[in-house]
């Protein structure tokens, strides 16, 4: 589970709490904006919890050169996981070569020092586009495909997760993210093929309590 806090107004105290919760409940990673990567890496230096960050977020419309620079800088600051947003405009324009190059630029910038997850924003894609996006991410060398930013239209759905898993098979992982706020939903996503869950409601999910959660 990626314990996530991507609110624009999150404070250092909020981020520290995120790290403390990740430590307490042994989450796989914390997912934060690039600004907070170094702070989280310091907070979690004595654990095996990864720091994940977002690249080209949330729209995916920055150039591949900018995404590559963001990736290199994030890794230098302590990120071990990179969640990049696909170039949706290029995908919907049918420029599949550009979409693949965009993902490859991030994969190459990561230099196998961090895993790369590709955010597809499934709520904006047709089934055909979703399949194409998954195939391009796999061919470009990504480690996981991910449903949503949490800032777009809709979050993770069981149908999208199933289709993503059917498309990529055992080649790469599937991360379900966006709107997952309880144990039952998380379990259903895993049953549908998700290998990683991204949520701000991680504490609620693992304890059944009322955690500090949002859409992001």
CA 166 to chain centre: 19
pLDDT band at 132 (very low <50, low <70, confident <90, very high): very high
Q: What is the pLDDT of residue 154?
A: 85
3 in Cβ contact with 21 (< 8 Å): yes
Say what the pTM is. Answer: 0.94
Mean pLDDT, the chain, integer: 96
Mean pLDDT, residues 58-83 taken together: 98
111 in Cβ contact with 74 (< 8 Å): no
152-161 tens-digit pLDDT: 888 999 999 9
Domains of the chain (ranges, CATH numbers): 2-207 (3.20.20.70)
Taking alpha carbons only, the member of 166, 169, 148 closest to residue 157 is 148
What's the distance, Cα to Cα, between the start and end of the chain in Å?
Answer: 14
Counting Cα atoms < 13 Å in the Cβ hemisphere of 62 gives 17
Positions marked catalytic = 83, 146, 175
**In 3-state terms, what secondary structure has residue 130?**
helix
């Amino acid at each position: 589970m990626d314990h996530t806090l991507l609110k624009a107004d999150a404070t250092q105290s909020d981020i520290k709490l995120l790290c403390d919760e990740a430590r307490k409940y042994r989450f796989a990673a914390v997912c934060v904006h690039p600004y907070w990567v170094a702070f989280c890496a310091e907070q979690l230096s004595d654990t095996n919890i990864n720091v994940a960050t977002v690249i080209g977020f949330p729209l995916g419309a920055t150039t591949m050169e900018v995404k590559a620079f963001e990736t290199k800088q994030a890794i230098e600051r302590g990120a071990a996981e990179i969640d990049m947003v696909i170039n949706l405009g290029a995908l919907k324009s049918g420029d599949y070569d550009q979409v693949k190059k965009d993902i490859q630029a991030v994969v190459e910038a990561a230099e196998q020092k961090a895993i790369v997850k590709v955010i597809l924003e499934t709520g904006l894609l047709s089934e055909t586009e979703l399949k194409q996006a998954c195939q391009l991410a796999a061919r470009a060398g990504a480690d996981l495909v991910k449903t949503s930013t949490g800032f777009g239209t809709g979050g993770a759905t069981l149908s999208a997760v199933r289709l993503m898993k059917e498309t990529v098979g055992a080649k790469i992982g599937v991360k379900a993210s966006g709107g997952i706020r309880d144990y039952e939903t998380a379990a259903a996503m895993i049953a549908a093929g998700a290998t990683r869950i991204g949520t701000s409601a991680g504490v609620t999910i693992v304890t059944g309590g009322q955690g500090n959660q949002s859409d992001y």
